[in-house]
Amino acid sequence: MVPTLACVVVLVPPAAATVARHRRVAARHAHPLAQRKATHGTAAGGGRDAARGASEPALVHVHVRKGDTLWALLAAHGIAPAEARSWLAAAAPVYDLHSLHPRRGLTLRFDRATRALDALRYEIDDRSLLVLERTPEGIHATRTGLPYFTEVKGTAGRIEHGLREDVIHAGAPPRVVAQLADIFGWELDLDHDLRPGDEFRVLYESTWQAGETRSEPGTVLGAEIVAANRAVTGIFFEDADGRSGYYRPGGEALGRDVLRYPVEFTEITSEFTSRRRHPILHLFRPHLGVDFAAPLGTPVRAVAAGMITFAGWARQLGRCVRIDHVGALSSAYGHLSRIAAAVMPGTTVAQGQVIGYVGASGLATGPHLHFALYRDGEYVDPLAQMAAAQPRIPEQERRDFERVEASVERQLAALPLAGGTPTVSRSDATVRPE
């Protein structure tokens, strides 16, 4: 049952006079961030998928790329500079976190209730790990052996009900479904384009921590969806500098500059776009936006890289964030319960970065995200936008990509459609005692 959501659209498009300025600002800030991929830090998926409301902490796996600093990565997850300093200082006697290496794993653990960072783990090298934990006495730092190993799992099946239900029923975790939605979101309308009998195949990493009874889903390495006899394949590729993305066979990018979903697909309970009667004001208003119903506190992601132009209270929209992007695009996110700490006017954000959390602030009867997109100050339908494709595989990476492509396609083809989650391969790393 879908509760009636109140959402008055008072999101007035930016006045014409300010459009030129917006465009200039967006262009100036666009360059480095525009290249950032959705997969950065699994921000594309967020990693906070376990049972909502449970007291267990939320783990976020951050993917480190060339040039990343701990400051920027922590800021991207809502950690204020003063707090970031205390984590760096605590690490210093064990390891200098100022120098992060591309492709090394960084895991942040947040208290689910307070959203405070309570632990941080970083892979120093192939065999050791820096572990930082918040204790009543302060932040405690240790160096230990790598307490986990990663295996590759595969799941395939046919659509019976919908991607969400069927992929989970076949044995893959919800986080994998959320990643599939980010990979294929612009190729297929996952709620409407899939029909019974269509097929899916997915390969994903799964990490076992020592002493844990279940594994943590990681990056989707490859996936294929066959809808109406048309196959779309996405292959994960990461270069030596840690830049990564999803590509079609042949090397064309599958990813786009704008994420289709500002909230993880698996958290969305319903979508509204139509003009409708407002339940509080009892009058019809044009609805310039898409409302995504999602549980209170669900992370809200910037759909594209850009610069924050507004973060605060905007009357009926309640707590609201606005972002300027390249190409005269801007986006707005309303009814937030909270705005992420590092999000303030003038700061830049990466695509997929968490900017706030779903709420019901302002004129709203239930928790939902009001999301709107503008081009040249004019409202555009976010779900109908065709965002620009990201660059294809560069020529110098082509050989490496072809190797990965061949391996992923072979493994996808070998998955039985009957379901189940066979382990496809296992990394050489074994569980090392501390």
Which stretches of the chain bind Zn ion, using CB under 5 A?
A: 7, 289, 291, 370
Which residue number, 169 or 275, has a Cβ lying nearer to Zn ion? 275
Give the Cα separation of 40 and 352 in Å (integer).
8
Which residue number, 167 or 372, has a Cβ lying nearer to Zn ion? 372
Which residue number, 291 or 324, has a Cβ lying nearer to Zn ion? 291
CB of 296 vs Zn ion, minimal distance in Å: 16
Alpha-helical (H) ranges within 162-214 are: 163-169, 174-184
How crowded is residue 31: how many other Cβ atoms within 10 Å of its Cβ? 10
Give the Cα separation of 84 and 74 in Å (integer).
7
**Positions of E strands within 34-104:** 58-63
CB of 49 vs Zn ion, minimal distance in Å: 25
CB of 290 vs Zn ion, minimal distance in Å: 7
Give the Cα separation of 265 and 262 in Å (integer).
8
Which residue number, 115 or 370, has a Cβ lying nearer to Zn ion? 370
CB of 57 vs Zn ion, minimal distance in Å: 32
Which residue number, 190 or 317, has a Cβ lying nearer to Zn ion? 317
CB of 2 vs Zn ion, minimal distance in Å: 14
How crowded is residue 308: how many other Cβ atoms within 10 Å of its Cβ? 20
CB of 370 vs Zn ion, minimal distance in Å: 3
DSSP states along 353-367: -EEEEEB--SS-SS-
DSSP states along 231-279: EEEEEEEE-TTS-EEEE-TTS-B--BSS-S-SS-GGG--EEE-S-EE-T
Q: Tokens 């209730």, residue?
A: 113
Tell how many helices (H) and how many strands (E) occur in the chain. 6, 23
CB of 58 vs Zn ion, minimal distance in Å: 27
Which residue number, 23 or 301, has a Cβ lying nearer to Zn ion? 301
Which residue number, 5 or 225, has a Cβ lying nearer to Zn ion? 5
Question: Which residue has the closest beta carbon to Zn ion?
Answer: 7
Give the Cα separation of 270 and 272 in Å (integer).
7
